[in-house]
Chain A
């Protein structure tokens, strides 16, 4: 048999792909990293906060070199109705010092930096190259063996022992390999955001931070009738303001995404934060939102799927983490390819180490733990009834209605629950679900 062009071909130089390539190349495998954009990160958009602790052993002291904006030391969760806001705000000074926690970052910078590490490890990075299909060899009981990829370059076929698909949310590779069924729009949300420029001191003052400290605000109740949520993140000299919208819910009404952002920006609790910011970039991208329920089979013969391509993004209300899950699963895919190639068996069986690596680590453990969260958080009650119930309770607690005496907490709770149209049984069930998923 003629020798393959490469040992490993990685499709997509996002966080999953670059981490897979770093692992493979550092173990001495001939590794090709393919990216359709002109540079890694050029096609990638997110909220934005990265949680890079998964890099601690791969790139020691990554915090000294990664292109980051601000360390997130404040995390707020806001519940909005049209005229009210209830915010839970947490601040932690320790997150501004090693080993840090989360940081805002621009993906065109962060992803490029991570891909540079793959190149430094010996991988070949080829940008401006779209993979258009899989090359397949002999048939096996468990499906035909993937032997490489077809690209849109002239003579663009590349053969390899293992292909690692890290091609993101629309993963045409996983679909072509038959590992995915037909995608269901209700499993996806559309993220749209504005990058708004503001002077650094203005951001410091508005958000109550200094030096390199930054803020992450997650918002619920800001998307009108559409199921979703909003966010505000601080960069060094800009803020990211956007919404995440359930596709089926967006498609079923008539307000466009940019108008939903505009409405959120006009809210009394948001307007003072964003006012005067100059729009420097508008962007959009999909999120695989449904977690475990939508995950494909992640291993084929000669094929591994990682990151958003495998729906490994964790989108569970107060958590929106995909980059760390991509980096983690990319690393485990890379390690599995190394192991299988060394053992001379890249069949689905030979690659089964991937499933156990995912299963034993945060990647699938967090997903299993939070498996009920996406449906709960994007469900109609959390979206449309609870915000009004919660802010209504706050309003009654803080209202001084003399000469009426203060009502008791239990009465407030009962009346606001009824006013918001939440049945006792539904509330009990949701509390139990919330307890099970978050507890």
Chain B
């Protein structure tokens, strides 16, 4: 079979996110309760969050950073642990600002 050379270098995730504009509020609009996450076996947020904001820790918890969030709602929908995620939209004017979408 012909080997195709269509594997141009993949963009790193931080370069990918740097294409998105955000006006970051100092107050988080999403808060994740790591204590609840410690009991979670699905960890669905890690694979599903398009901004890759849920990072597992070696201690079995989750670190979450709200700053580059698309405000999509995926995380609270796939998370089946009551109380793990408290989710709201950012204050008016803050958060993601799309340009070519």
Q: Which residues of A contact B (CB under 8 A)?
A: 36-38, 41-46, 48, 106-108, 127-130, 132, 151-153, 169-170, 172, 183, 185, 188, 190, 192-193, 195, 235, 238, 247-248, 250-258, 262, 266, 268, 271-272, 275-276, 279-286
Contacts and interface: CB of A to CB of B under 8 A. Distances in A.
Chain A CB count within 10 A is highest, among B20, B50, B92, for B92
Contact of B101 (A108, A132, A256): A108
B52 interface: yes
Given A256-B52, A258-B50, A151 B92 contact: yes
A129 B10 CA distance: 38
Contact of A283 (B20, B52, B77): B20
Consensus secondary structure, chain B interface:
loop
A301 to B, nearest CB: 25
Nearest to B97: A42
B98 A281 contact: yes
Contacts of A38: 23, 93, 97
Interface of B: 4, 6-8, 10-11, 13, 15-17, 19-20, 23, 42, 44, 47-48, 50-52, 70-74, 77-78, 88-93, 95-101
Given A183-B77, A258-B16, A284 B51 contact: yes
B41 to A, nearest CB: 12
A251 B44 contact: yes
B48 A36 contact: no
B11 to A, nearest CB: 5
A128 B98 CA distance: 14
Contacts of A281: 19-20, 98-101
Which of B20, B74, B90, B97 has the most chain A CB within a 10 Å cutoff?
A: B74
Most A CB within 10 A of own CB, among B10, B19, B52, B100: B100
Nearest to B70: A284
Contacts of B52: 256, 258
A95 B35 CA distance: 56
A282 B98 CA distance: 9
